Amino acid sequence: MSDLTQTLPQVKSGPDWVLIRKRTRSFIAHAFVLTLVAIMLLPLFYMVMMSFKTSTEIAQDPLGLPESLYWGNYMAALSSMGYVRSVLNSIGITISVIVVVVLTGAMAAYPLARMNNRISKTIVMVMALGLATPNFVTITPIYVIFRDLGLLDSYLGIVLAFAALKLPLAVFFYTGFIAAIPMDLEEAAKLDNCNSWQIFWHVIRPLLAPVTATLSLFIMIMVWNDFIYPLLLLTDKSKLTVMIAVYKFVGNTGIDPTKLFPAAVLGSLPLLIMFVAFQRKIMAGATAGAVK
Amino acid sequence: MAELSMNKVVKRYGATQVVHGVDLDIKDGEFCVFVGPSGCGKSTLLRMIAGLEETSEGRMTIGPKDVTHFDPAERGVAMVFQTYALYPHMTVRENMSFGLKISGEDKTVIKEKVDKAGQILKLADYMDRKPKALSGGQRQRVAIGRAIVRQPDVFLFDEPLSNLDAELRVEMRVEIARLHKQLGATMIYVTHDQVEAMTMADKIVVLRAGRIEQVGAPVELYENPDNLFVAGFIGSPRMNFFDGEVIELGFHQVMVTVPRLGNVVVPVAVQSELRLGQPVTLGLRPEHFDPKGDVKVTLPIDVHENLGGVSYVYSNSDEADLPIIVELRGQRPPVGSDLEIGLNPEFALLFDPQSEERIR
Ligand SMILES: Nc1ncnc2c1ncn2[C@@H]1O[C@H](COP(=O)(O)OP(=O)(O)OP(=O)(O)O)[C@@H](O)[C@H]1O
Ligand SMILES: [Mg+2]
């Protein structure tokens, strides 16, 4: 025992430079990330702050903090924007789009991921084109087609439009993920008397849970915040989404900041709530559904 | 329970043929092992039996049914995969129940069968765990359990133990053998492992490049191989092969000189007619060198591997040929010295170097 301790190298006293360097590096990295986060949160903070200021405060000191939390703006915005109705519209449309895109996307991706021939490769290429097409290119054709189909100003129309636009993303997500699921699992299922549909439903689909959560989150944010398509396809006031309702406060002649900012906060609030709820799901899904 | 029979079975992937007309009969309740070098078509043949690969040509029957073009589930087979292929999102119980559930089996019957399988495989404590929370050996047992509950006529195993460590392998090997006795089902088992093949099989099928080289009981293949390939493949360490020449013909016996062993003359019993001067390949297993052997040889020792009970001496390893391997018991000669040893000519086998067939 005593032999052993003697042969060990002496521990040097004084500063441990390796540790100090490591700590410094980690400190700098953290400071950098925190700065980025602060920059990103600034507009949000500004929006919330503005929503509590009276019109005089805004006029006198647009960048200052409000003196007290003034809830009057919220009352005014709520009463003039049809909040509940438009939030329900947004939620309904967003959820419908997610359901349609997730189901059809996964079902389309499954054969595409498993077949390895020219046809399936071509389809994947076309899907990639769909991803790369700028929004503005599709606006006019979608409007004309939906007008001719009589789908203007209907929930079905707006859901179909969003679903079609987001489908390429879903197919892309899912093909990569399904391709990574080992064939053995499917073969085991075949021996367990499953037909193709049952393999998809009982074996593939449950394994897609984590990627589905991530994808749904993406779609949720995009659909919720989009206002080009609702503006294009919906005119009936009762069918408008919440983001359009917010945008109504940006008038042709001027902006009413006392209503716009609280409306913007109110418009993003449900999204924030859903986001937080979803995030837990993602974590749960990521750990539960992992292959192997 | 059923016998299985393959008649001129062929597998092609596009233009490449990987199984070339295999004829094979496996009896009811037999434990049949496929062995062969990597890429010889063991898995392909097994998957053809399972119905996971189309049979390009030929017929296949299980029991009375011609199953050549049946779907996997209709064949009455169950397969245990090398990777276990357990459904990751299902518990052990759900994994084992899944096939029966899909087939519309009654819930109470499923529970009964799954509980019984869990008991046989000592899985009762893990029924509600996901596969991720199991050890490799436990996962393998679940995979076997999933096969058992379907009560198949034929069990198929594709290198089921190759992902386990040595100790667990032995344990599972014994367990599968026990299971075979208990269930009395026909089992077909693919392996790379000599020991698994020799200990478990009723019948070994040696495959090479999509063809059957020989079929037989383990001891039969070991003692009585049909050709050079089987002689060299079965047995570990492998058989020694020497170039030789027939120098004397006798009644049911020839004399063969072996240049590599210092031109010793080895008498070998054969029935077939040979001619003087005919080149032959002489095969001798490492354990058939014997200090008391009749024919004495001297071998320089290059490497000495001591395994405890037995040890192996490698000789002439600097020559172009493979080293000569000699098994020793008790003796521990030093490396660099010369080993004086005899050989037992009654165990020597003769092969035709051209056709590689055995000369009997
Ligand atoms: N989908 C395929 N297309 C073309 N050739 C294939 C395909 N699958 C397998 N092969 C070929 O068939 C031959 C037999 O393969 P197989 O997997 O049956 O070998 P194996 O004996 O199981 O080998 P291992 O011991 O390495 O598992 C190989 O030469 C392989 O390249
Ligand atoms: Mg294989």
Mean pLDDT by 10 residues, chain A (292 residues): 53 79 93 94 88 83 80 83 87 94 94 90 87 86 92 92 92 90 94 94 92 88 89 86 83 77 87 80 56 42
> Is B18 near ligand 1, meaning CB less than 6 Å away?
yes
Query: Contact B81/A187, CB-based, under 8 Å?
Result: yes
- Is A64 a member of any domain? no
B202 and B291 belong to one structural domain: no
B163 and B264 belong to one structural domain: no
What is the structure's pLDDT at B285?
95
Q: What mean pLDDT is reported for chain B?
A: 92
B147 and B281 belong to one structural domain: no
B201 and B270 belong to one structural domain: no
- Is A49 a member of any domain? no
Of B199, B217, B233, the last residue of a domain is B233
pLDDT digits (tens, 9 = 90+) for B11-33: 999 999 999 999 999 999 999 99
- Is A186 a member of any domain? yes
A120 vs chain B: nearest CA distance in angstroms? 19
B183 and B274 belong to one structural domain: no
Going by C-beta distance under 8 Å and a sequence separation of 6 or more, which residues neighbour residue A117? none
Of B169, B199, B233, the last residue of a domain is B233
B331 and B315 belong to one structural domain: yes
Average pLDDT over residues B321-326: 89
B155 and B220 belong to one structural domain: yes
Question: CA-nearest residue of chain A to B130?
Answer: A288
pLDDT digits (tens, 9 = 90+) for B236-292: 899 999 999 999 998 899 999 999 888 899 999 999 989 999 999 999 999 999 888
B105 and B206 belong to one structural domain: yes
Residues of B in contact with A188 (CB under 8 A): 79, 81, 85-87, 146
Residue B235 pLDDT > 60? yes
- Is A8 a member of any domain? no
- Is A71 a member of any domain? no
Among B11, B34, B35, B43, residue to substitute to test ligand 1 (most atoms within 8 Å of Cβ): B43
Q: Find the CATH number of the domain harbouring A212.
A: 1.10.3720.10
Is A197 an interface residue toward B (CB < 8 Å)? no
B80 and B151 belong to one structural domain: yes
Count the domains in chain B: 2
- B4 - beta bridge partners? B26, B62
Count the domains in chain A: 1
Q: Find the CATH number of the domain harbouring B30.
A: 3.40.50.300
B193 and B265 belong to one structural domain: no
Instruction: Give the number of the atom of ligand 1 that is nearest the alpha carbon of residue B47.
Output: 18
Determine if the peptide bond prior to A66 is cis (ω within 30°). no
Torsion-angle region of B143 (φ positive above 0: left; ψ -120 to 50: alpha; else: beta): alpha
For A112, the domain range is 82-248
- B208 - beta bridge partners? B211
> Is B40 near ligand 1, meaning CB less than 6 Å away?
yes
Of B200, B233, B266, the last residue of a domain is B233
Give the ipTM. 0.85
Q: How many CB atoms lie within 10 A of CB B281?
A: 20
B19 vs chain A: nearest CA distance in angstroms? 21
- Is A74 a member of any domain? no
Question: CA-nearest residue of chain B to A207?
Answer: B89
Is B342 an interface residue toward A (CB < 8 Å)? no
B244 and B198 belong to one structural domain: no
> Is B11 near ligand 1, meaning CB less than 6 Å away?
no
For B52, the domain range is 4-233
Q: How far is the CA of B16 from the centre of ligand 1 (A)?
A: 11
- Is A68 a member of any domain? no
What is the DSSP secondary-structure string of chain A?
A: -HHHHHHSPPPPPS--HHHHHHHHHHHHHHHHHHHHHHHHHHHHHHHHHHHTS-HHHHHH-TTSPPSS--THHHHHHHHHHTHHHHHHHHHHHHHHHHHHHHHHHHHHHHHHHH--SHHHHHHHHHHHHHHHS-HHHHHHHHHHHHHHHT-TTSHHHHHHHHHHHHHHHHHHHHHHHHHTS-HHHHHHHHHTT--HHHIIIIIIHHHTHHHHHHHHHHHHHHHHH--HHHHHH---GGG--HHHHHHTTB-SS-B-HHHHHHHHHHHHHHHHHHHHHHHHHHHHHHHHS---
B141 and B181 belong to one structural domain: yes
- Is A19 a member of any domain? no
Is B94 an interface residue toward A (CB < 8 Å)? no
Q: Find the CATH number of the domain harbouring B305.
A: 2.40.50
